[in-house]
Amino acid sequence: MTDARMSPWQDGDPAPPELLASIKARRPNGQLIDLDRYLLKSFPLAAGWNALLARVRGEFQLDLAYREMIICRVAHLNRAEFEWTIHKPVYLEAGGTEAKAEALRLDTIAPLFDEKETLLLTLTDQSTRHVEVDKAVIAELKTLFGEQQAVEAVATIATYNMVSRFLVALAI
C-alpha cells in the first residue's frame, strides 16, 4: 500500500456500519483488505462493488476453479499483482495446480489446459486484450457450458477487468 496514489479509509473513519459489516462478512476472518479501504472512500461505490462481487464469487454456477482461473489470468494480463496475490491461493484451493497457475502468467495459453480451460482462457484473452470476442468462441462457449455459464464466464472476465483496472490505476 505504500505506493498507492490515494490515502485509504482508516479504521475509525466514518462509514455506514451495515456497509462495513457487509464487506467484512465477505472477507476471511472479517478483515478488510487494502482494496476495501480504497473503495470505502465512496460509500455508494463500496456498496455496489460488494454486492456485485458477492454474487460473482458466491452465487454463479460456473465452477469456482474456472472462475478463479479466469480471475488469475485477468490479473496477469492487466499486471494487477494485488489481484493475483489474493486469487492464486483460491485457485489452488479450488483445484488448480501450481503448474497451471504459473502457466497463467505466460503470454500464450499453455497446452497443459484441457479443452474447457483453453476455451475460457481464449475468451479471457480476447475480452481483456481486445474487448471484442470472436463469434466462434461464444458459440463454442455456449455449446460446452450452456448459456447461463457462458454469460457468467463473460461477466467474471468483465468484473475482474474492472477490479484490476481500479487496482492498477490507484497502484494498490
What's the confidence (pLDDT) of residue 151? 98
Q: At what angle do helices 64-77 and 81-93 cross, to 10 degrees?
A: 160
pLDDT digit string (tens) for 137-150? 999 999 999 999 99
pLDDT digit string (tens) for 114-135? 999 999 999 999 999 999 999 9
pLDDT over 90 (residue 47):
yes
Q: Which has the minimum average pLDDT: 26-30, 74-78, 90-94, 156-160?
A: 26-30
What's the confidence (pLDDT) of residue 80? 97
Percent of the chain with pLDDT over 90: 94
pLDDT over 60 (residue 73):
yes
Domain 64-169 homologous superfamily, CATH? AhpD-like (1.20.1290.10)
Sequence ranges of the domains in the chain: 17-22+32-58, 64-169
**What average pLDDT score do residues 103-114 get?**
95
∠ at Cα 22 (17, 28), nearest 5°? Answer: 120
3-state secondary structure the chain: CCCCCCCCCCCCCCCCHHHHHHHHHHCHHHCCCHHHHHHCCCHHHHHHHHHHHHHHHHCCCCCHHHHHHHHHHHHHHCCCHHHHHHHHHHHHHCCCCHHHHHHCCCCCCCCCCCHHHHHHHHHHHHHHHHCCCCHHHHHHHHHHHHHHHHHHHHHHHHHHHHHHHHHHHCCC
pLDDT over 70 (residue 1):
no
pLDDT digit string (tens) for 6-46? 899 999 999 999 999 999 999 888 999 999 999 999 999 99
pLDDT over 60 (residue 87):
yes
Sort 41 into a burial class: Cβ within 10 Å, 0-12 / 13-18 / 19+.
Answer: middle
pLDDT over 70 (residue 2):
no
Of the candidates 124, 101, 123, 127, the residue with the CA atom closest to the CA atom of residue 112: 101
When the pLDDT of each residue in the chain is averaged and rounded to a whole number, the result is: 95
- Which pTM was predicted? 0.92
Distance from C-alpha of 36 to C-alpha of 38, rounded to nearest angstrom: 5
